[in-house]
Amino acid sequence: MPLLELKDLTLAYGRIEAVRGVSLTVEEGELVTLIGANGAGKTTTMRAISGIRPVSRGSVWFDGKDITRMKAHERVLAGIVQAPEGRGVFPGMTVVENLEMGAYARKFASKAEHDETVDRVYELFPRLKERRTQVGGTLSGGEQQMVAIGRALMARPRLLLLDEPSMGLAPLVIQQIFRIVSEINESGTTVLLVEQNAQQALSRSHRAYILETGEVIKSGNGKELLADPAVKQAYLGVA
């Protein structure tokens, strides 16, 4: 049984269907990527999973349960947590305060569990520990992305949704972010990643889906798709 399953998912903005009949699965422990050009429907699909956008047709299943009508905050409690496109860091709050916003989303069994989670975030992102009293608005783009992912991890997700984590970052920072995403997945957290950096995403993914104009046009093993001539030409700029 997949951890996440979308069945014939359709979402519309007014009369325009941004996502049309998308079906996909994410198995527990996988790192799965959605790639596609701007406007392909990737972020809309993620918003449907997290409960931010209502579904027009089809259904969203999580851990064997139909959660299509479940509210967004209830999905967080169930274990679906999103680090959104654009990071969404609170600019006037310190790094610690931003991280604690994620901690409020789910109750900890004990202070020890809370502290272990904080320590894990700082282990993944040592820079955040150095900057823990600095306000979010003064951080670099890469540091803000670390805060966004760390805040999501504070909610102890079973399924971590990452929407364009490399957007606007320098190449060295992008490599660092992707190494950490792989480490998060290898430590046991299932990850669904939306990303335009196809090279980095596909090379690290167990499986991937390619969206065009709101529809899945191809899927398969990440490394196999990376070697596919049509994928290389369309998304890697390789003829």
Q: Which residues contact 177 (CB under 8 A, 6 or more apart)?
A: 142, 145, 146, 149, 165, 166, 169
Instruction: Write the single-letter amino acid at 46.
Output: M
Q: Label residue 164 left, alpha or beta by phi (over 0 means left) and psi (-120 to 50 means alpha).
A: left
Sorted by where each begins, the domain ranges of the chain are 1-79+159-239, 91-156
Task: Answer whether residue 238 shows pLDDT above 70.
Answer: no
Beta bridge partners of 83: 162
Percent of the chain with pLDDT over 90: 83
Task: Answer whether residue 222 shows pLDDT above 60.
Answer: yes
The predicted-structure confidence for 131-187, as pLDDT tens digits, reads as follows 999 999 999 999 999 999 999 999 999 999 999 999 888 899 999 999 999 999 999
Residue of 73, 78, 65 lying closest to 7 (CA atoms)? 65
The predicted-structure confidence for 110-124, as pLDDT tens digits, reads as follows 999 999 999 999 999
Pull the structure tokens for residue 130: 């150095």
Q: What dotted CATH number matches 1-79+159-239? A: 3.40.50.300
Average pLDDT on 88-96 reads 94
Where does the pLDDT of residue 109 fall: very low under 50, low under 70, confident under 90, or very high at 90 and above?
A: confident
The pLDDT of residue 128 is 96
